[in-house]
Amino acid sequence: MSDEIVKYSNQFNNQALRKFTALDLDLLMAIASRVRDKGTDEVAFTFEELKRLAGLQRNMTNDEFAKQIANVNRRLLALNFEFQNEEHDIIQFALFAGFVTSPTKRTLTVSVNSRFSFLLNDLTSQFTRFELAEFTALRSSYAKECYRRLKQYRQTGVWKVSLEDFRRLLDVPKSYRPSEINKYVLKPIEEELGPLLNLKVHRKYLKKKPGRGRASLVGFEFEFDPEKVPAALPLRAWSCPAPW
């Protein structure tokens, strides 16, 4: 499993995966690692293979696992994946055209939506790449979702994001105040990704006029160790303007 690589278009990172559990995310990324560059061909997994790819530790019956897999696609279908093309048309779609789970055969068979297979095929630039085993080893769903966004900026080691976009992308409850974001969202991110990526999280505040109260939190800058680029390949100048 250590050689399995997840690779997809950066546009996929703009989609918030709402209500996805840590296991849901592991299964989705395991599937993504195998359907990459397969076009719209059907790709079949045995339950045992999918469990191994997702790093599943706990015991589940075939029926329980089938329900878990089906829930992943059910949540995907509920998302209404959306992006804008060059003409600024807003296009909504389902990621998978086929998604067949068989508890009897203990298999999953998937095929990517033909119109949007570009998200997982022929990726030569503007893509996110990471090791599946490293992703599945993370425990927190917030750490997993932050991790894959950081990997979009793996060559620069900086991800700047506004508080509004951070809430949306990581599916942070709207009711969370900054103190609760620190405790329930940023703490597990820093605990898991700090040692792994040498991650430092810088809170960004908007200063108010004197006498107008405390400065308000407006965003974050995630700083981590960039990946080394082979000498033959130039470092891409990824654009990451401050969102505040």
Question: What local confidence, expressed as pLDDT, does residue 229 receive?
Answer: 65
DSSP state at residue 125: S
Q: How far apart are the first and last CA of the chain?
A: 40
For the entire predicted model, the pTM comes to 0.87
CB burial string 73-97: b at 16+ within 10 A, e below: bebbeebebebeeeeeeeeeebbbb
Q: Could you report the per-residue pLDDT of 30-63, keeping only the tens digit for each?
A: 999 999 889 889 999 999 999 999 999 888 999 9
Question: What are the CA-CA distances from residue 175 to residues 18, 104, 124, 181, 235 (Å)?
Answer: 15, 43, 40, 10, 40
Give the start-to-end residue ranges of the domains of the chain: 5-121, 140-223
pLDDT tens, position by position, 74-128 = 999 887 677 766 777 777 778 898 999 999 999 999 999 887 788 888 788 889 9
Which letter does DSSP use for residue 15 in this model? S
Q: Are domains 5-121 and 140-223 of this chain identical in fold?
A: yes
Q: Residue 1: is its pLDDT beyond 50?
A: no
CATH class of the 140-223 domain in this structure: mainly alpha
- 145 and 25 in contact (C-beta within 8 Å)? yes
**Per residue in 128-172, pLDDT tens?**
999 999 999 999 999 999 999 999 999 999 999 999 999 999 999
Per-residue model confidence (pLDDT) at position 240: 58
Contact yes or no for 77/94 (Cβ under 8 A): yes
Residue tagged 């991110």 (tokens): 189
CATH of 5-121, one of 1.10.10.10, 1.10.3720.10, 3.30.1390.10, 3.30.1360.120: 1.10.10.10
In this prediction, residues 204-220 reach a mean pLDDT of 83
